[in-house]
Amino acid sequence: MNATIPPMHAALSVLGTMAGQYIASQGQTPQTKQPVPANVSTQFTGTATLAICDICKVRPKYFDGQKTHSYCGKTCATAGQTKHVPKSKPKRNKPSKATRRLCDHCHKQPKYNDGTTTHSYCGKTCAQKAKAAGASAAQPTQPTNPTANGCLLCGKAVKGKGHFCSQACTSRAEMNAPGLIEVPQGHDTFKSVADQFKASWRHQTPCPTVRRVHKVISSPASIAKYEAYRAAVESRGNFVAAGRSAGNENRRWHGTTRECNLGDNGNCTLCPSQTCSLCCILKTSYNLNLFGKKTGWGRFGHGIYTSSTSSKSNDYSTNVNPSMLKAILLNKVVVGKGHKMTQDNTSLTAPPTGYDSVLAEVASGGSLNYDELVCYTNDAIRPSYMVMYDA
């Protein structure tokens, strides 16, 4: 047989074409790795190594007719991309830890931490600017569909005691501190406060109608001081063991002067006046240094006066500006061990030794017609609710 042997370059060309067709056909088959026969070596050298997939090291690289890719197919290509992505690479659009520690408004100063909570802003200035711009520090609005025991911010059910459903809502409310959040009329809290106002109206005059109830939001630092004092009183009095609340905490009324129109028509913005007693109490709580400012004296000395009788505290609630409503505060007070008194003692600057407060009671021949509770330390009391009622 007289066969003509093709030139070497022609043979290489044919082999190259066949190899290209094989590689192309392999790239179109399902990406399941085939086992390598035992008699086939996978150790390639020279130019052959470049034709093997960079990931599996078994299948040939995919050739699309114009370009030879680094991988045999999509499966290995995906694995190759994952392999080269650093595990610690942050997610797209997620700020770094350093950025998250900066003020949400100025993005320059670190966020303020009061010892228990890290707030969204570096201080009051940025919080107020953000509030003016309509940011998250703006006055919280009532939930669209409030429930009887719902969160005062989002309306979701609250588990256990408290007014907020989560730490997120609690923190959001605290960012508005000091301030007010209006309680919906159908809420359990509204009913509880309004019922106490009505039940404790003991004067002969008709009890006015409660129109609005606002939850007072004090700063975390202020609440922490109050709770520390309550814990100290509880530790020496063991009131919980006797079936009472911690520190023998009770709710008591206090009436004072309102210079502004806080509470009218849903107004929840505290005024800047230094002589508006109502707003000053809401901002910084009660201050013994201001004792006697309204009355000039106290039957039981230099203390902070409250009463279980709403109509008595109503006598001290006054408006500077014309208004259809009056304001009164319902406070939480650490009574502790109260010393009962029926006669005046204007020289007191502290409760008698061994006691935490003075319980001024009505008695035959006594100087009082309605009860009073007097505490002698600022941290024994915090405003809890502001109640607006018909004047």
Written as one string, the DSSP assignment of 164-208 is -SSHHHHHHHHTT-SEEEEEPTTSHHHHHHHHHHHHT--SSSPPP
In a domain, 243, yes or no: yes
Q: Which two tokens stand for residue 64?
A: 């699309």
What is the CATH number for 381? 3.90.228.10
Distance CA 64, CA 69 (A): 8
Per-10-residue mean pLDDT for the chain, 391 residues long?
46 46 48 42 42 81 81 80 53 54 80 73 76 47 71 91 92 93 95 98 97 97 98 98 98 98 95 96 96 79 97 97 97 98 94 97 88 98 99 93
**Contact (CB, 8 A) for 375 and 357:** yes
Position 136 in a domain: no
Structure tokens at 251: 């709710």
CA 298 remoteness from chain centre? 39
DSSP 271: P
Is 298 within a domain? yes
Number of domains in the chain: 1
Contact 202, 370 (CB under 8 A): yes
- The predicted pLDDT at position 116 comes to 60
CB-CB contact of 52 with 43 (8 Å): no
Q: Which domain holds residue 379?
A: 180-390
Q: Evaluate whether residue 140 is within a structural domain.
A: no
Residues in the chain: 391
Q: What is the pLDDT of residues 183-202, one digit of tens each?
A: 999 999 999 999 999 999 99
- For the chain, how big is the Rg over CA atoms in Å? 38
The verdict on residue 65 lying in a domain is no
* Residue pointed to by tokens 């800047």: 272
For residue 281, tell me if it sits in a domain: yes
The answer as to whether 282 is a domain residue is yes
Per the structure block, which two tokens stand in for 270?
């505290």
> 154 in a domain, yes or no?
no
- Written as six digits, the tokens of 121 are 């802003």
Q: Which two tokens stand for residue 248?
A: 């023998």
Rounded CA separation 104/101 (Å): 9
Strand 257-258 to strand 318-319: parallel, antiparallel, or no bridges (unpaired)? parallel
